[in-house]
Structure 1
Amino acid sequence: MSKVFIIHENSTWVEPLRLAFDELGTPFEEWFLDQGVLDLRSPPPEGVFYNRMSASSHTRDHRYAAEYTGATLAWLERHGRKIVNNSRALRLEISKVAQYEALATFGIETPETLAVVGKGNIVPAAEQLGFPLILKHNRGGKGLGVRLFLSRAALDEHLASPDFEEPVDGITLVQRYIQAPEPYITRLEFVGGRFLYAVRVDTSQGFELCPADACQVDATAIGSAACPAVAPSEKFQVIEGYRNPLIPTYERFLAENGIGIAGIEVIVDGTGRAFTYDVNTNTNYNPDAEARAGVFGMKSIARHLDGLLKQKWAARAA
């Protein structure tokens, strides 16, 4: 019997999906792709494959999990398996440069960004862009490595300190800081390539915005690298009746890039100009915010994957 296969490297983040599958009675299996052996001589099993590999996997000592996932997805794709968030989606998950270039092809505006390789090139890039600006990792996840700098002196001090983090792929992004009139961003959630809901995320305590319980941030300084498992807060609030004229464009963008499930983060400046700055294909949801609003992302994912699996069963039976 075919089943749903969950590709991931973080068991905690999968727990709500396990519960949702159990409620539906959906057969599933987890592939924890940290390390192992991929036998390219054999075909993969039948089923629906959901890729939840995270850009931040290297921060959990799973340095090559994304690369292993890329190899696995190539194997699955060669054999024609049904994949939700395919190898194209993985490429965008682990590279913000790839994200921004893909978004640009749909006319979706992103913050001005310079991609820098080599620590010594950061200051010249910053001078070219101007202050204030943000440094971030091209491959980060959860906002790791994000720092706001208001001046050249502050940037120089940071680069000379032990706090500077070398990005895992060697690419540091120097990005225009978008000043929002209020300290929040909006995250749009999509399941099955369709808009589900939007959530307002309070950024007053920093830039690490992972909404899962295990990633609640207790930070008072911008760019804190802490991600302790603490009690949920009011940091996330589902927006009732949210409207955005870009939603159809986002849906076309997701379809073109093999992305079935994602969170897209947007910030609006003081003039009302919206900038899209992150596409997260390993999306998590805040349980408190969802309970207050009566909408549930993981249950929606489970229903979507269960439906795809049943379609496969029906096709085989026909």
Structure 2
Amino acid sequence: MTSPLPDLAVVYEHPQWFEPLFEALDRRGVSWVKTPLAGDVFDPAASPAPARVVFSRVAMSSFLREPEHPIFYAQSLFEHWEGRGTRVINASALPIDTSKARQLSLIARLGFRGPETRAAHRQADLPKAAEGLRFPVLVKADIGGSGAGIVRYDTAEDLARAARDRTAPAGINGVSLVQEYAPRAGGRIIRVETLAGRYLYALEVESSGDAFDLCPADVCLIRPGSAVMGMTRFEPPAEIIAAVEAIVAAGKVEVGSVEYLIDERDGSVRFYDINALSNFVAKPRDVLGFDPHDNLVDWLVGVIEEEKAKRA
């Protein structure tokens, strides 16, 4: 006898990151199944999806944990399932999530500002890319995550030496960004979380020094070498919320965040990261006064009901 198809499959790479989501799904009584990407194979001529609705929790930082990472595999897999009529939540965000260059291009097209940046696909071209930028600069991997692949160069000579020695960061797609270092006012960045394209909450994240890994979730804070951070609920101005909602709508990000900073040099707002994987925040009830996983599950249940109604 064939088992009934679960309502939801959560597809992920990291085995611990989504325990709070799993607990929230169980509390709500959702019919769901875990679908880890490790060990997964599919037949491009068959292989139906494991549930009525699939929720992508693929992390761009997965290449840090596994050389045989699933980032590009997941894109093919999700497109295959969508082609067979399955709703795959956040699959539409992968094109923007997999390229910081595309993110900054999108931000600029919408009329917002990011840090001054140039992209290159050869190490030898990094000094050329830095021409006209103010030092210090950062070189970033185009596909990053958890602050990975970011190095600061204080002078053009330092950058030229790294380019010559081929030691500057390069993404797993071979693309690097050279970006003006924008000192964040007060050592703070703002992470704005969205759900279904709408503002959910924002955090002011403060750290000392030049830490680039500012993930506020439990699993990030306990990692060896993680930055010491202060996290406070923050209410951005209405125009920032509107800008963030415009960014996630244009980027087709259904569940995710946008990060920005205030450039200490001139007071300008600089949007610098679009993240389609949100683990929310450690101790959410203490920090936010509510658990955003409950909001997420409410929305997921609504998506499931919509899909059931389409097939009724």
Check whether TM > 0.5.
Answer: yes
Checking the alignment, whether the CA contact within 8 Å between 1:202 and 1:235 is kept in structure 2 is yes
2:259 aligns to what? 265
Q: Output the CA distance in 1 between the equivalents of 2:311 and 2:20.
A: 30
Give the SS at the match of 2:172: coil
Checking the alignment, whether the CA contact within 8 Å between 2:207 and 2:228 is kept in structure 1 is no
1:224 aligns to what? none
The offset of 1:305, in angstroms, is 0.8
Residues 89-98 or 267-276, more deviating: 267-276
Output the aligned Cα RMSD: 2.5
Q: Does 1:99 align with 2:94?
A: no
1:236 aligned residue (222, 231, 239) = 231
Q: Output the CA distance in 2 between the equivalents of 1:300 and 1:289.
A: 12
The offset of 1:268, in angstroms, is 1.0
Q: Output the CA distance in 1 between the equivalents of 2:161 and 2:51.
A: 54
Q: Output the CA distance in 2 between the equivalents of 1:305 and 1:2.
A: 13
How has the CA–CA distance of structure 1 residues 264 and 298 changed in structure 2, closer, same or farther, with 3 Å as cutoff? same
Checking the alignment, whether the CA contact within 8 Å between 2:208 and 2:228 is kept in structure 1 is no
Q: Output the CA distance in 1 between the equivalents of 2:311 and 2:79.
A: 24
Give the SS at the match of 1:55: coil
Give the SS at the match of 2:253: coil
How has the CA–CA distance of structure 1 residues 61 and 24 changed in structure 2, closer, same or farther, with 3 Å as cutoff? same
Q: Output the CA distance in 1 between the equivalents of 2:187 and 2:255.
A: 26
1:138 aligned residue (139, 142, 160) = 142
2:247 aligns to what? 253
Residue type matched to 2:224 in 1? P
1:54 aligns to what? 59
Question: How does the TM-score come out when normalised to structure 2?
Answer: 0.88
Residues 192-201 or 245-254, more deviating: 245-254
Q: Output the CA distance in 1 between the equivalents of 2:225 and 2:126.
A: 33
Q: Output the CA distance in 1 between the equivalents of 2:64 and 2:85.
A: 32
1:85-113 CA-to-partner distances (Å, cap 9, x unmatched) read 12x41111111111122222322221111
Give the SS at the match of 1:90: helix
1:127-162 CA-to-partner distances (Å, cap 9, x unmatched) read 442312111110111111222232224435655779
Checking the alignment, whether the CA contact within 8 Å between 1:54 and 1:93 is kept in structure 2 is no
Q: Output the CA distance in 2 between the equivalents of 1:113 and 1:63.
A: 29
Question: How does the TM-score come out when normalised to structure 1?
Answer: 0.86
Q: Output the CA distance in 2 between the equivalents of 1:67 and 1:168.
A: 10
Q: Does 1:73 align with 2:69?
A: no
The offset of 1:301, in angstroms, is 1.6
1:221 aligns to what? none
How has the CA–CA distance of structure 1 residues 144 and 31 changed in structure 2, closer, same or farther, with 3 Å as cutoff? same
2:212 aligns to what? 207
Q: Percent same amino acid among aligned pairs? A: 28
Residues 113-122 or 98-107, more deviating: 98-107
Checking the alignment, whether the CA contact within 8 Å between 1:189 and 1:264 is kept in structure 2 is yes
Checking the alignment, whether the CA contact within 8 Å between 1:85 and 1:261 is kept in structure 2 is yes
The offset of 1:35, in angstroms, is 4.5
Checking the alignment, whether the CA contact within 8 Å between 2:123 and 2:168 is kept in structure 1 is no
Q: Does 1:33 align with 2:37?
A: yes
Checking the alignment, whether the CA contact within 8 Å between 1:238 and 1:289 is kept in structure 2 is no
Structure 1 stretches lacking a partner, 5+ long: 218-226
Number of aligned residues: 305
Checking the alignment, whether the CA contact within 8 Å between 2:140 and 2:150 is kept in structure 1 is yes
Checking the alignment, whether the CA contact within 8 Å between 2:123 and 2:164 is kept in structure 1 is no
Structure 2 stretches lacking a partner, 5+ long: none
The offset of 1:212, in angstroms, is 2.0
Residue type matched to 1:237 in 2? T
How has the CA–CA distance of structure 1 residues 269 and 229 changed in structure 2, closer, same or farther, with 3 Å as cutoff? closer
Q: Does 1:167 align with 2:185?
A: no
2:221 aligns to what? 216
Residue type matched to 2:26 in 1? D
Residue type matched to 2:256 in 1? A
1:183 aligns to what? 187
